[in-house]
Amino acid sequence: MEMDESINVFGEPLEGSTGEPVTGFFRDNMCNTCEQDLGSHTVSIKATQEFLEYSRFKGNDLSTPVPEFGFEGIKPGDTWCLCAARWLQAEADDRAPRVYLKRTHIKALEIVPLEILRKYALDLS
């Protein structure tokens, strides 16, 4: 798999997150992507209880650990690389979590307009 260039929504080098749980399509704590990443795991979010419940209701349980896949589950406050379409769906349903734009891959803009992401930004000064 050839990784797309690590560029954020501002055209700058993509920033990564630290710590647990390890996130990203490549499990490199960055929202990097490639042609094989059909879900476009490109939006860096700060998880909330409300969003995790919403995601579980929509059929994607991110909070329950799955040890056989090395997945410890996401807790409120964790950073996670979310599928861009799921984030946009949550935004339409008033359940979108806040985002880190400097950690969000430029490919997310193919699905989510920057103007919408900016409203949820945690890292704009």
41: in domain: yes
Average pLDDT over residues 33-46: 97
Which pLDDT tens digit goes with each residue over 57-78?
999 999 999 989 888 899 999 9
125: in domain: no
Average pLDDT, the chain: 95
124: in domain: no
- Please tell me the distance from the alpha carbon of residue 117 to that of residue 114, in angstroms, as a whole number: 5
Q: Where are the alpha helices (DSSP H) in the chain?
A: 49-57, 84-92, 114-118
Q: What is the dihedral of CA 58, 61, 62, 64, to 10 degrees?
A: 160
The count of domains in the chain is 1
Q: What is the CATH number of the domain that holds 1?
A: 3.30.56.110
122: in domain: no
| Domain span including residue 100 | 1-117
123: in domain: no
pTM of the model: 0.94
Instruction: Output the pLDDT for position 19.
Output: 80
- Kindly report the backbone phi and psi dihedral angles of residue 106, in degrees, each rounded to the nearest multiple of 5, phi listed first: -60, -25
Rounded-to-5 percentages of helix, strand, coil across the chain: 25, 20, 55
Question: Is pLDDT of 125 > 80?
Answer: no
